[in-house]
Structure 1
Amino acid sequence: MEARQVFRELREGKIRPFYVAFGTESYLMNDFAERLTEQVAEPEHRDMAVVRFDTGETPLDGILDEAETLPFLVERKLILVRDTVLFASGKESSKIEHRPERLTAYMAQPMDSTVLVFMVPNEKLDERKKLVKTVKQYDAAVNFAPLAADELVSWLARRAEKQGRRIDPAAVEELLRRAGTDMHVLASETDKLCLHAGAEGTVTVEAVHALVPVAAEQNVFRLTEELAALRTEKVMTLYYDLLKQREEPIKLMALLVRQFRNMLYVKELGGQGYSPQQMAGQLGLHPYAVKVTADQARKFTVDRLARLLSELAELDFAMKTGQVEKTLGLELFLLRTASAGAG
């Protein structure tokens, strides 16, 4: 089951007796837990209605004993269990004894007064485990994967709308370029921009420029764009700004290497017919980052990217062995690359 389906069910008032939430998008997983909490208990009763466990610290027997105990002074209770043992592919802890067969029995006859949620911070569940197969039979496994590029844009627009504001499409694009794809950061920055826009106001590109700082990693995205466009002056302005922010040249070079390497991978995978979503899974990138990387990669040839990676490898060695001063070495590389262009 995808995250959008479970959120739709919650909006319709449908709550299942148990879930196994997994995936790498922690913001969506936490949002799911918060919405469940809101539906299960009133704020003044949540101390009694919400119980938390960790399978690395508590045996499954103890968790299920709590699940099978009637709630006190509330109609239902929510049990949130952080799990890296039962459903994930990691090695089970030798200190804690778990009896998964008891959980299998519980899922066949769950308590009506309990909502049991296992939260697994892994990209995938371990399909070899019987418990995972059982959960999937009940359609209770929920995948909280990173949003696709268009979904992320829509999510930002909806977040502004819920606060009585609208956000220009160009402002959304600039916000993503500056803040990246971390939904925790994006939520905070969007709320700040909405507050600045005022009631029924509009979040503009100008407001994003004024209020949202550019993360170092996002500046590297911009650096590669300017390099491809032969805009030497903008390349050097970005580089000097990063130095003023006390960013280390070796760190910046490592980020450049990663971006050029990702461009090369995207070109190769695209040539093999991979979709952006499949590329994201292969490269461990957010789908929006794949979209930006693919746009940039079109401006470079495969040979050019290979040569740039080779030059950066030589520069890295020269910097670390003291043959080249770090700041000057990277500055000369950027000047040469911006002059030579992408082809």
Structure 2
Amino acid sequence: MEYRKALRELREGRIKPYYVCYGTESYLIDDFIERLIAALMEPEHREMGLVRFSTSENPLDEIVDEAETPPFLVPSKLVVVRDSVVFASGRDSAKVEHRPERLQGYMSGPLDSTVLLFVVPHEKLDERKKLVKYAKDKDAVVSFAPMAAEELSQWAIRRAEGQKRRMEQGAVDELLRRVGSEMGAIAAEIDKLCLHAGEGGTVTAEAVATLVSASTEQSVFKLTEEIAALRTDRALALYYDLLKQREEPIKLTALLVRQFRNMLLVKELRKQGFTPQQMAGQLGLHPYAAKITAEQARGFSLERLAAVLERLAELDYEMKTGRVEKTLGLELFLLRTGSEGGG
């Protein structure tokens, strides 16, 4: 089941006795849990009605015992279990013994007053396991995959609208360039920008540029973009800003290697007919990051990307062996790469 369907059922009051929530978008999982808590209990009942476990520390017998115990002094109870071994293919801890048949027995006749929710922070569940098949048959498995680039953009606009502000598309684009695709960070920045705009106000790209600091990873994204566009002066300005923030040139070089390697892989995958969403899955990137990487890759030929990666490997070796002064070495790389263009 996709998470939007699970939210719709929640709004309609159709709450399942157990859920298996999996995926890498932790913000959406946390949001679903908060909505579930609000639907199940009053704020004053939260302390008594919410219980947390982890399968890395607690055996399934202990977790099921809690689920089978009626709630005390509150009408309902939510048991949240963080898991990487029961529903996923993580390694079992030698200290914790799990009996999956005990959990399946509970799932066949769950307590009406308890909701049991497993949080599995993995891209996939282990489809070979009986518990996974059983939960899927009961439509209790909920997927929380990262949003596509367009979805993420629309979500940001809706969040601002929910606070009675309008967010320009340019502001959204600038925010994502600066913050990246982590939804928790985006939400926090939107809330700050909305506070600055005031009720009924507009969040502009200028406000984002003034109020939101770019992360190191996003600055490297921008750095690569400026190189691809042959804007060497802007690339150097970004580099100097990163140095003022005490960023280590060797770390920046490693991030550049990762970005140029992804650009090379994206270019190869595009030749094979992959869509941006499929590229994201292949490379382990967020769909928005894959989209930006594909746009940057257009400015380079395959041969040029291979040559840049080779030069970065040489630079990394020279930095670590002391053959070149680190700050100067990376500055010369930016000057040379920008002057040669994308080939």
TM-score by length of 1: 0.97
> In the alignment, which residue of structure 1 is the partner of 2:16?
16
> In the alignment, which residue of structure 1 is the partner of 2:128?
128
User: For 1:46-195, what aligned pairs fall within 5 Å after superposition?
Assistant: 46-195=46-195
What one-letter code is carried by the residue in structure 2 that aligns with 1:131?
A: L
> In the alignment, which residue of structure 2 is the partner of 1:320?
320
Deviation at 1:75, TM superposition (A): 2.1
Deviation at 1:215, TM superposition (A): 1.2
Identity of matched residues, %: 68
Moved more, 297-306 or 219-228: 219-228
Q: After superposition, give the CA deviation of every residue in 1:17-72 in whole Å (9 maximum; x if it has no partner).
A: 10001111111111111111111000011111111111222221221122122222
Q: Distance in 1 between matches of 2:5 and 2:273?
A: 28
Q: Distance in 1 between matches of 2:20 and 2:71?
A: 21
Deviation at 1:12, TM superposition (A): 2.1
> In the alignment, which residue of structure 2 is the partner of 1:291?
291
Q: Distance in 2 between matches of 1:296 and 1:133?
A: 41
Q: Within the alignment, does 1:230 sit opposite 2:195 as a pair? A: no
Deviation at 1:186, TM superposition (A): 0.7
Which stretches in structure 1 are left out of the alignment for 5+ residues? Answer: none
Deviation at 1:74, TM superposition (A): 2.2
Q: Distance in 2 between matches of 1:14 and 1:209?
A: 43
Q: Within the alignment, does 1:29 sit opposite 2:38 as a pair? A: no
Q: Distance in 1 between matches of 2:82 and 2:222?
A: 38
User: Tell me, what secondary structure is at the counterpart of 1:242?
Assistant: helix
User: Tell me, what secondary structure is at the counterpart of 1:299?
Assistant: coil
Q: Distance in 1 between matches of 2:336 and 2:97?
A: 61
Q: Within the alignment, does 1:38 sit opposite 2:38 as a pair? A: yes
Deviation at 1:131, TM superposition (A): 0.9
User: Tell me, what secondary structure is at the counterpart of 1:88?
Assistant: coil
> In the alignment, which residue of structure 2 is the partner of 1:239?
239
Q: Distance in 2 between matches of 1:275 and 1:17?
A: 37
Deviation at 1:194, TM superposition (A): 0.4
Q: Within the alignment, does 1:203 sit opposite 2:203 as a pair? A: yes
Q: Within the alignment, does 1:330 sit opposite 2:333 as a pair? A: no
Q: Distance in 2 between matches of 1:297 and 1:130?
A: 43
Consecutive aligned runs of 4 or more in structure 1 exceeding 6 Å deviation: none
Residue-pair matches, total: 343
Q: After superposition, give the CA deviation of every residue in 1:221-271 in whole Å (9 maximum; x if it has no partner).
A: 111111122112111111111111111111111111111000000011111
> In the alignment, which residue of structure 1 is the partner of 2:263?
263
User: Tell me, what secondary structure is at the counterpart of 2:97?
Assistant: coil
Which stretches in structure 2 are left out of the alignment for 5+ residues? Answer: none
TM-score by length of 2: 0.97
Q: Distance in 2 between matches of 1:58 and 1:226?
A: 50
The alignment yields a C-alpha RMSD, in angstroms, of: 1.1
Q: After superposition, give the CA deviation of every residue in 1:120-149 in whole Å (9 maximum; x if it has no partner).
A: 111211111111111111111111111111
Q: Distance in 1 between matches of 2:169 and 2:11?
A: 27
Q: Distance in 1 between matches of 2:154 and 2:10?
A: 19
User: Tell me, what secondary structure is at the counterpart of 2:79?
Assistant: strand
User: Tell me, what secondary structure is at the counterpart of 1:78?
Assistant: strand
Q: Distance in 1 between matches of 2:216 and 2:95?
A: 42
Q: After superposition, give the CA deviation of every residue in 1:204-230 in whole Å (9 maximum; x if it has no partner).
A: 011101100011111111111111221
What one-letter code is carried by the residue in structure 1 that aligns with 2:175?
A: L
